[in-house]
Structure 1
Amino acid sequence: MLIAIALIVLVVATVLFHFLSPWYFTPIASNWDTVDATVDVTFWVTGVVFVAVNLFLAYCIIRYRHRKGNKAHYEPENKKLEWWLTGITSVGIAAMLAPGLSVWAKFVTVPEDAAAVEVLGQQWAWSYRFPGKDGELGASHAHLISVDNPFGMDPNDPVGQDDVLVSNPQLHLPIDKPVKMLLRAKDVNHQFAVPQFRVKMDMVPGMVTHFWFTPTRTGEFDVLCEQLCGMAHFAMRGRVVVNTQEDFDKWLDAQPTFEQTLTATKGDPVAGQALFATCTACHGAKGEGNRELNAPKLSGQADWYLVRQLQSFKAGVRGSNDQDAPAKQMIPFASMLADDAAVRNVVAYIKTLPEVRPAASVVGDPVRGKELYETCSACHGDTAKGIWATNAPRLSNMSDWYMARQLQHFRDGIRGGHPQDFHGAQMRSMAKVLADDQDVADVLDYIRTL
């Protein structure tokens, strides 16, 4: 009897939770309300079956419970009952599948007036590509992907020269305009999903998958990867901003074309030497760093990372938190670099500086640190030299006191809190793997041995 009562309570509690729960679908922000209708049909079919089966089971437990003197009746087959069960089950499955297949057919049948946008997924970030004024996307291939050509575009294809590249996890789209999403993965399987739009689709290396939707209200909406893609899968976040057509056009015009990025990737170390003169006051003539001035070592660091950090300082993405005084100090100095060309020039000069091994200032247990570093190696590499593809900078032979402070800032939410600092937000999550200052010291002491 207790089991029967438990089953009845389970059914009642489940039904009440479904109808009274504050957790339900987010308000829809696209044309795919039919997806919600399809899910509702699935809820009703599975809900009715759940209630019926469990209440029937409770009834059977009560009705056919053991009673002294009663003997069970054995009936190995009942064709009439089997036909009823087969028929009812078939109707229920058809009721769930038919609407879904109908919606799926519409989901992948793109309207002729839909604008194309390419989504590029990689561990663990998003980037996007728009066709230029010719309305066509240029050719691309995985074997062409490099630091200077992250989208893998064919530089010899004239069609792709005016393609607009967005090397940022934030995508802008115009309201009430259908858009075809072309999905491409660099490394492993990903899945592009925007819950508020009710859209998701797998991204498979070597394939281009697609779907379409029409944004129906302005605002900001989360982009998630819903395919387990590695260590930092949970932190692979992005954002879709739906704008008015006017605001979208302004944003798109501010993004670089492929042709512009080809010329922008080259820095001039000679011009950069003069610009670096100001930096030497803190970072040293050889970029060796100076702890007393809160200036980390720069020499030996990846040029793509230094460019990104200088751009983040100039844009106020880094140094936005009042508790990060050293970063706030960097903002006016970074602003002395007039444009991206100046940034690339000074970084090109830093790349020519000789390698100087910084003095150790953090002491821990390198043996224990090796175990802790296993998580870090997924992005930064086994030898901590950094991996461009995972947006992870070099750690080996860099200033350990600086890394210790940055890890603490990530853990405390001082760094990585700016809405445009997507990579910093990832590190906020990953840094929490190191529970305390001893963990930080141990892992940094191990990195020093690499």
Structure 2
Amino acid sequence: MIIAWVVILLTLGSVVFYVLSPWHLTPLASNWGAMDSTIHITALVTGAVFVAVNLFLAWVILRYRHRADRRAHFDPENKRLEGWLTLVTSLGIAALLAPGLWVWGAFVSVPEEAHEVEVVGQQWRWSFRLPGEDGELGRVDTRLIDETNPFGMTEDPAGLDDRLVMEPRLLLPMGQPVKLLLRSKDVLHNFQVANFRAKMDLVPGQVSYFWLTPTEAGEYEVACAELCGIAHFAMRAWVEVVEPEVFEVWLAEQPTQADWLARANPDPTAGQAHYASCAACHGANGEGNANIQAPPLAGMAPWYLSRQLELFRRGARGTHPEDTQGQQMRPFAQQLADGAAIADLAAYIAGFEPVQASPAESGNARRGARLYRTCANCHGEWGQGIPATQGPRLAGLPDWYLIRQLEHFREGIRGRHADDPYGNQMVDMAQMLVNRRAVEDVVAHITTLTATEEE
């Protein structure tokens, strides 16, 4: 008797919790309201079955509970009952499948007027490509992908005006259908925006797709909904739905493939003149100065130096009130007039001989080696840095600088600015170092790395 009432109360409690639950679907921001309808139908059908089965179970417990004056009767077959069960089950399955099949048919039937956007996934970041004035995306070949050709662009003339979006931020025009072409550089990924109610796998070696029409202006988070590796949880981007005229202005600001090919080679000689103001803190040869908390620059890759200088210049780094050294760095970065000046300076610094860090004053390098296995996925086994994952070189950096930066990432002092997507990713990764001891341990290991094994 008690068990039967427990089953009844659990069933009713589950229904009440579902109805009054504080957790609901995110606000819909696309034309796929039919997705919500199928979810509600599924909840009603499965909920009805859940209630019916459990109430039947409670009735069976009560009706056929043990009594000393009766014995169970074995009924090997009941065609009438089997017929009803088959009919009811078939209706339930049809109610679950039919709406989904109808929605799927619409999901893969792209309107002719939809414009195209290519989404490229890679451990652990997103990038995008949009057609230029010709309205056509150029052909690509994955065998051509490298540091200088991140999209694998071919010599197809149609690709010269393609707009390349290297940062994980995409704008879409409101009220206009868009077809998203999805491809992966490495492993399975999944492009999902919860508010759009649309998602699809990115499969290496093929191009998948889906379409939607954004209906609500706003900023929405992109998540990778496929377990793609150690930093899967940090593989995020942002889609902003804006008015069409705002989208057109943004699109015109994005570099084309022709711009990428025509970019001038940086001039280290011009960069030497820019470095004159840097040398006072970072040393004549980029060796750094611990007395004034200026890290070494020697050994840093030009792409990473350029990115950090640009972040300082536009206020995405060095504006947090607790980042004293970053605030000091900002005025110097703002002396660089444009991207060309930054590239020249980075090219000059790249000519410095890398330095070797002194052993850390604290921490256990052996324990740190185990923690560093996660870091190695982006920064390399020997701290040499991996451009493909946007992970900079760590070998040669002193312990005091590494500890400070990791603590700043853990506390959100560095990396939380909206215009610093890779910093945001690093903030999430730094949370894996649960305390100061873990930070010191992993830094102690990093100071033992020389990167010579890779070079």
TM-score w.r.t. structure 1 length? 0.97
Give the whole-Å Cα distance in 2 for the aligned partners of 1:3 and 1:423: 54
Q: Which moved more, 1:176-185 or 1:337-346?
A: 337-346
| Residue in structure 2 matched with residue 90 of structure 1 by the alignment | 90
| Residue in structure 2 matched with residue 78 of structure 1 by the alignment | 78
Give the whole-Å Cα distance in 2 for the aligned partners of 1:169 and 1:447: 28
Q: CA deviation at 1:98?
A: 0.9
Q: CA deviation at 1:359?
A: 3.1
Give the whole-Å Cα distance in 1 for the aligned partners of 2:2 and 2:406: 53
Give the whole-Å Cα distance in 2 for the aligned partners of 1:262 and 1:294: 38
What amino acid maps onto 1:93 in structure 2?
A: I
Q: Judge conservation of contact 1:148–1:262 (CA < 8 Å) in 2.
A: no
Per-residue displacement from partner, 1:176-217 (whole Å, max 9, x unpaired)?
011000011111100001111111001011111001101111
Give the whole-Å Cα distance in 2 for the aligned partners of 1:312 and 1:265: 21
What amino acid maps onto 1:347 in structure 2?
A: A
Q: Judge conservation of contact 2:356–2:395 (CA < 8 Å) in 1.
A: no
| Residue in structure 1 matched with residue 197 of structure 2 by the alignment | 198
Residues 429-448 of structure 1 aligned to structure 2 (within 5 Å): 429-448=428-447
Residues 119-198 of structure 1 aligned to structure 2 (within 5 Å): 119-154=119-154, 156-198=155-197
Q: Judge conservation of contact 2:120–2:182 (CA < 8 Å) in 1.
A: yes
Residues 267-282 of structure 1 aligned to structure 2 (within 5 Å): 267-282=266-281
**In structure 1, the residue corresponding to 2:383 is in which secondary structure?**
coil
Q: CA deviation at 1:79?
A: 2.3
| Residue in structure 2 matched with residue 427 of structure 1 by the alignment | 426
Per-residue displacement from partner, 1:276-312 (whole Å, max 9, x unpaired)?
1211111111111112222211111122211111111
| Residue in structure 2 matched with residue 327 of structure 1 by the alignment | 326
Q: CA deviation at 1:265?
A: 6.9
Per-residue displacement from partner, 1:193-247 (whole Å, max 9, x unpaired)?
1111111001011111001101111111111111111111111111111111121
Q: Which moved more, 1:157-166 or 1:422-431?
A: 422-431
Give the whole-Å Cα distance in 1 for the aligned partners of 2:432 and 2:27: 34
Q: Judge conservation of contact 2:320–2:414 (CA < 8 Å) in 1.
A: yes
| Residue in structure 2 matched with residue 50 of structure 1 by the alignment | 50
**In structure 2, the residue corresponding to 1:153 is in which secondary structure?**
coil
Does residue 302 (structure 1) correspond to residue 263 (structure 2)? The answer is no
Q: Judge conservation of contact 2:360–2:444 (CA < 8 Å) in 1.
A: no
Give the whole-Å Cα distance in 2 for the aligned partners of 1:397 and 1:331: 24
Per-residue displacement from partner, 1:101-154 (whole Å, max 9, x unpaired)?
111111111101101000111111111110011111011121211222211111
Give the whole-Å Cα distance in 2 for the aligned partners of 1:254 and 1:440: 40
Give the whole-Å Cα distance in 1 for the aligned partners of 2:260 and 2:233: 30
| Residue in structure 2 matched with residue 10 of structure 1 by the alignment | 10
**In structure 1, the residue corresponding to 2:42 is in which secondary structure?**
helix
Q: CA deviation at 1:64?
A: 0.7
Q: CA deviation at 1:362?
A: 3.5
Q: Judge conservation of contact 2:179–2:210 (CA < 8 Å) in 1.
A: yes
Give the whole-Å Cα distance in 1 for the aligned partners of 2:83 and 2:382: 65
Give the whole-Å Cα distance in 1 for the aligned partners of 2:399 and 2:265: 30
Q: Judge conservation of contact 1:148–1:265 (CA < 8 Å) in 2.
A: no
Give the whole-Å Cα distance in 2 for the aligned partners of 1:429 and 1:355: 29
| Residue in structure 1 matched with residue 452 of structure 2 by the alignment | none
**In structure 1, the residue corresponding to 2:352 is in which secondary structure?**
coil
| Residue in structure 2 matched with residue 339 of structure 1 by the alignment | 338
| Residue in structure 1 matched with residue 364 of structure 2 by the alignment | 365
Give the whole-Å Cα distance in 1 for the aligned partners of 2:208 and 2:372: 36
| Residue in structure 2 matched with residue 257 of structure 1 by the alignment | 256
Q: Which moved more, 1:420-429 or 1:37-46?
A: 420-429
Give the whole-Å Cα distance in 2 for the aligned partners of 1:346 and 1:55: 74
**In structure 1, the residue corresponding to 2:151 is in which secondary structure?**
coil
Q: Judge conservation of contact 1:320–1:418 (CA < 8 Å) in 2.
A: no
| Residue in structure 2 matched with residue 399 of structure 1 by the alignment | 398
Does residue 19 (structure 1) correspond to residue 19 (structure 2)? The answer is yes
Q: CA deviation at 1:402?
A: 1.0
What amino acid maps onto 2:182 in structure 1?
A: L
Give the whole-Å Cα distance in 2 for the aligned partners of 1:318 and 1:218: 28
Give the whole-Å Cα distance in 1 for the aligned partners of 2:230 and 2:4: 44
Q: Judge conservation of contact 1:35–1:103 (CA < 8 Å) in 2.
A: yes
Q: Judge conservation of contact 1:302–1:393 (CA < 8 Å) in 2.
A: yes
Q: Judge conservation of contact 1:174–1:242 (CA < 8 Å) in 2.
A: yes
Structure 1, unmatched stretches of 5+, are none
Give the whole-Å Cα distance in 1 for the aligned partners of 2:67 and 2:190: 56
Q: Judge conservation of contact 2:398–2:447 (CA < 8 Å) in 1.
A: no
Give the whole-Å Cα distance in 2 for the aligned partners of 1:317 and 1:42: 45
**In structure 2, the residue corresponding to 1:393 is in which secondary structure?**
coil
Give the whole-Å Cα distance in 2 for the aligned partners of 1:353 and 1:192: 41
Per-residue displacement from partner, 1:16-63 (whole Å, max 9, x unpaired)?
111111211111111111111111111111110011011111111111
Give the whole-Å Cα distance in 2 for the aligned partners of 1:436 and 1:79: 66
**In structure 1, the residue corresponding to 2:266 is in which secondary structure?**
coil
Q: CA deviation at 1:271?
A: 1.7
Q: Which moved more, 1:353-362 or 1:41-50?
A: 353-362
Residues 99-118 of structure 1 aligned to structure 2 (within 5 Å): 99-118=99-118
Q: CA deviation at 1:361?
A: 4.6
Structure 2, unmatched stretches of 5+, are 450-455
Q: Judge conservation of contact 1:362–1:441 (CA < 8 Å) in 2.
A: no
What amino acid maps onto 2:268 in structure 1?
A: P
Q: Judge conservation of contact 1:125–1:237 (CA < 8 Å) in 2.
A: yes
| Residue in structure 2 matched with residue 208 of structure 1 by the alignment | 207
What amino acid maps onto 2:186 in structure 1?
A: D
Give the whole-Å Cα distance in 2 for the aligned partners of 1:343 and 1:408: 27
| Residue in structure 1 matched with residue 244 of structure 2 by the alignment | 245
Give the whole-Å Cα distance in 1 for the aligned partners of 2:311 and 2:399: 22
| Residue in structure 2 matched with residue 288 of structure 1 by the alignment | 287
Q: CA deviation at 1:360?
A: 3.7
Per-residue displacement from partner, 1:327-361 (whole Å, max 9, x unpaired)?
12221111111111111111111111112223345
What amino acid maps onto 2:64 in structure 1?
A: Y
Q: Aligned residues, how many?
A: 449
TM-score w.r.t. structure 2 length? 0.96
Provide the identity percentage.
Answer: 54
Q: Judge conservation of contact 2:357–2:395 (CA < 8 Å) in 1.
A: no
What amino acid maps onto 1:281 in structure 2?
A: A
| Residue in structure 1 matched with residue 453 of structure 2 by the alignment | none
Give the whole-Å Cα distance in 2 for the aligned partners of 1:443 and 1:318: 24
| Residue in structure 2 matched with residue 30 of structure 1 by the alignment | 30
**In structure 2, the residue corresponding to 1:411 is in which secondary structure?**
helix
